[in-house]
Amino acid sequence: MADPSLLRWFHGRITRDIAENCLQTTTSMDDGTYLLRESASEIGSYVLSVCKDKKVIHYAIQRQPSGMVGIADGPQFPGPVELVNHHKTSLGGLMTKLTYPCERPAGVKATAYKGISHDDLDEAIRTVLRTEGVVNEEAVRKFKVKMEYVVGNILHRQQPWFHGVIPRTEAERRLKSLSETGMFLIRERGSPRGSYVIGLFYQGGVYHYLFESNNQGQLSIKSGRSFDNLMAVVNFYSQKSEGLFCTLKRACEVSWFEFQPKTEIYKNILLHPEIQAELKKTLLLYEDELKKYRRVSRVERPPVPNRPVSRVSNQIDVKDTWVYEKIYDSKDIVKKEGFKNPFETQERETELDPKRLRLEHELGHGNFGSVVKGVYLLKNNKSVAVAVKTLKEEDIPGQKSEIVKEAEIMSKLDHPNIVRLIGVTQSPGFMLVMELAPQGPLHKFLKKNRNMNVLDILVLMLQVDEGMNYLESQHFVHRDLAARNVLVVSENFVKISDFGMSRAMGVGNEYYRAERAGKWPLKWYAPECIYYHKFSSKGDVWSYGITMWEAVSYGGKPYQGMRGPVIVEKLESGYRLPKPDNCSDAVYTLMLKCWETNPDDRPSFMEIGIILAQYIQNERVKKK
């Protein structure tokens, strides 16, 4: 089967209107003048647009269950190129033979989706197949349609217009701050997952269009046409308004608000551990077909991308091997209470029944109230130990609804190294109910356990990285990562806490600008957070470096004795925290990389995990 994207008369995924305009403006519209385009909504199907009597006739080319394609009641062919070649000499159901091709301008690539050419899509498919040991170009062509279903449902996650799970009010704020007709963004609804909302600014107002999935997994607005993925939605509505007030014009970029620098879209997102887990399940459907193309045997974990690592570290050798299982995915940890979600079997309720909650003794105080140990009775009558954060009413005036909304989103997050938020209760006072980590915050735990081996501490930091990697994949920015917010379940098991709620409590920028001592965690902040109040995962990476310094220092205080203005001045001059005692050069180099002034120069959490896991494994081998 020939690849249509290599031929100039294939125009990619364009709409009917654009195809007609192309034929009308670039050709004389003689009978038989034609172009081939992709179906706007259905992967693997095409449309043949042909001129006849100065009009354009559109023939749908449907893909059959056999994999062949054809026009209704016409002969079938291996692909659209073969179909076009056939109709150059035979009518076969057309009103005229195909004569003159309408070609794309020189240098213009066929569009797969808005901003993504077919060359880009092919490279994304190659990336996925390489993780399966498949490097054969024949396989790329053979599996192109199947793989487009797979990658098409992933690529939107790193598009500039995709803002993840944010509240409706925040989407409106972002669009109104720019007030440009046709500007748009897309957010994911926290519940139900798999549904999305386009926020569109039009003539002074923001309009929201809900796209939900049908039984076939396709997305559509009410009474609108269906699309196989979100990329196709944006591609279509960027060319045609059809049900919207206007076409989607300029993207409202998430990086303008969350300081997320552009990265290499396809390789980074498709090789992300969370994405790989999804891909692995899907590719099992094609296991038998892939076998004959596979160069090497399938592995349980895909290899780490083979790319230069000098940007991250020139002292740690990162090999194409995944070593997490060897380090902490052990039976001991898996059996720990809190590793598996005890609430996943019960129906989720953000607002909990206060009658099922019993409070016990106080565990400590926080900025917004106290933390109390409690017991929550599940619907299956099983009792689970919980931590209950009681909030001071004077600190949350008018914010309860926002906290409930944020809690609803956060309650959907599920990872062993994240403190799971169970829900809220408003009786007798406003309280957040969370998983219990009985050993308390990491910095206090390490102060009491100074005999703990540094490698074991780094294993805990590897778990913190895993939790942060998960938050990043879910488009969450922590904004307050520190050892005080890493809670210890046991000496070899930790969870990250206190993410997301500061935003819901209305303390956002005001909290971080406050002048009262202890209210502004400046010592953990990246420069762009201090100066521009821009928070991103790369800002969290800076905080991770400080948290690692705290951990390796056994709960030491960063910038001991320095006040805010002095810290800012020293950071500007290039000062960084000194290397802790008993800290290796390799680990300190990783910390320094986390503290690069330019966010683009900092490693991602995925890269940190690869480096740290390999370092731990190498050190363990040396000690044997």
Catalytic residue ranges: 480
199 annotated as a binding-site residue? no
91 annotated as a binding-site residue? no
User: In sequence order, which ranges of 490-536 are alpha helices (DSSP H)?
Assistant: 501-504, 508-513, 527-532
| DSSP, res 294 | B
Strands 431-435 and 493-496: unpaired
- In this structure, the number of other CB atoms found within 10 A of the CB of residue 450 comes to 8
121 annotated as a binding-site residue? no
363 annotated as a binding-site residue? yes
The C-alpha atoms of residue 445 and residue 488 are separated, in whole angstroms, by 7
604 annotated as a binding-site residue? no
Q: Which residue has the tokens 């409202």?
A: 252
- CA gyration radius for the chain? 28
The C-alpha atoms of residue 290 and residue 116 are separated, in whole angstroms, by 26
Report the sign of the C-alpha dihedral through residues 554, 560, 565, 568, in that order: negative
> Which residues are registered as beta bridge partners of 425?
431
Name every residue whose Cβ is closer than 8 Å to that of residue 446 and which is 6 or more positions away in sequence.
452, 457, 483, 551, 554, 555
The C-alpha atoms of residue 268 and residue 270 are separated, in whole angstroms, by 6
The C-alpha atoms of residue 540 and residue 476 are separated, in whole angstroms, by 10
Distance from CA of residue 297 to its chain's centroid?
29
Angle between helices 537-552 and 454-473 in degrees, nearest 10: 170
Name every residue whose Cβ is closer than 8 Å to that of residue 438 and which is 6 or more positions away in sequence.
385, 489
> Which residues are registered as beta bridge partners of 432?
389, 424
User: In sequence order, which ranges of 293-390 are alpha helices (DSSP H)?
Assistant: 324-327, 331-334
The C-alpha atoms of residue 223 and residue 233 are separated, in whole angstroms, by 14
502 annotated as a binding-site residue? no
227 annotated as a binding-site residue? no
User: In sequence order, which ranges of 265-323 are alpha helices (DSSP H)?
Assistant: 265-270, 273-283, 287-291
367 annotated as a binding-site residue? yes
Give the torsion through C-alpha atoms of 547, 548, 550, 553, to 10 deg: 180
Name every residue whose Cβ is closer than 8 Å to that of residue 401 and which is 6 or more positions away in sequence.
none
CB 408 within 8 A of CB 189: no
Backbone torsions φ then ψ of 619, nearest 5 degrees = -65, -35
Helix (H, G, I), strand (E, B) or coil at 77: strand
370 annotated as a binding-site residue? yes
389 annotated as a binding-site residue? yes
Distance from CA of residue 128 to its chain's centroid?
17
Q: Which amino acids are annotated as binding site for ATP, given as ranges?
A: 363-371, 389
Binding residues: 363-371, 389
